[in-house]
Amino acid sequence: MMTFLDAAIDAAKSAGDVLMRSYEKPKEIQFKAEVDLVTAMDRASEQVIIEKLLGQFPNHGVVAEETGARKARSEYRWIVDPLDGTTNYAHDLPLFSVSIALECRKEIIVGVVYDPVRPELFYAEKNGGAYLNGKPIHVSEVSDLGRALLVTGFPVQKRQQALKNVELFGAFTLRSQGVRRLGSAALDLCYVACGRFDAHWEFRLHAWDTAAGSLIVSEAGGKISDFGGQSFDPFGTETLASNGKIHVQMMEVLAPFRDAPK
């Protein structure tokens, strides 16, 4: 039997192969919401991942973006995004990834994010460090928000909700070296982990977007929390990841824009 990490890496690479077979080819696209796409390859990628993971660990549960939840008969649950960056993929923009995390007793213990285009494999185990293609990675040393390069994204419900992140984009643009928007939250988090970005913030992500990347950031020496600095919850509504050195500065800008308590 494979280790948890090896199984996640194998599943992510197999899913990446599925995605690349149809990349830059005509795609079957449907809309789950007004601007929320899903392609046939999202579903095909997810099927490969679930078959591989449950083939190794049939008692494990699964939370997956396209097929929902499968109850566990053990304390382990996989959290799966078969294609993070579907809109990019549908437009042949080479910024998308496969994200797989393993949760045990409400703690993420394995995280794998695979970019099949470059190809780049980010991964981490709890207390084992973070890696990119087998080499250790670490967050940046930038300590001044004014010298930081930031990244964010926008919720798919952006047309119906208050445009707080548009205002935040402007506020951070004025306070930082610059702000980018890539379209794959899993890659955003991994790019913080390896120092390409200094921080990432975003509203209303899903657990499958952030679970793997949150562990990779932490194991690379970074910090991840909600906007108020409380412990990060992949099933929460706020994501703030940074190199740790500018975390408080990020929180100060974010404070007026936080979601009202539910």
Query: What is the DSSP-derived secondary structure letter of residue 231?
Result: B
Whole-number Å distance between alpha carbons of 65 and 203:
17
Phi then psi for residue 10, to 5 deg, are -60, -45
Band (pLDDT 50/70/90 cuts) for residue 36 is very low
**pTM over the 0.85 mark:** yes
Contacts of 118 (CB under 8 A, 6+ apart): none
Question: Other CB atoms closer than 10 Å to residue 174's CB: what's the count?
Answer: 10
Judge whether residue 244 has pLDDT over 50: yes
pLDDT digits (tens, 9 = 90+) for 165-198: 889 999 999 999 999 999 999 999 999 999 999 9
Please, what is the angle between helix 207-219 and helix 185-193, to 10°?
A: 0
Domains 4-136 and 145-257 share a fold: no
Domain borders along the chain are: 4-136, 145-257
Q: Measured in whole angstroms, how far is the alpha carbon of residue 238 from the centre of its chain?
A: 13
The CATH architecture to which 145-257 belongs is: 3-Layer(aba) Sandwich (3.40)
Query: CATH class for domain 4-136?
Result: alpha beta
Of the ranges 16-25, 40-49, 66-75, which one carries the lowest mean pLDDT score?
A: 66-75
